[in-house]
Amino acid sequence: MRCYFHLVNEDETVPDEVGIEVADLAKAEEMARQAIEDIRSAALDLGASWQGWRLDIVAPSGQILASIPLDPVVH
Which residue type sits at 25? L
Mean pLDDT computed over 22-27: 94
Q: Distance between CA atoms of 11 and 60, rounded to whole angstroms?
A: 22
Q: pLDDT tens digit string along 26-67?
A: 999 999 888 888 877 766 666 566 778 899 999 999 999 999
DSSP string, 6-66: EEE-SS-EE--SS-EE-SSHHHHHHHHHHHHHHHHHHHHHHT---TT-EEEEE-TTS-EEE
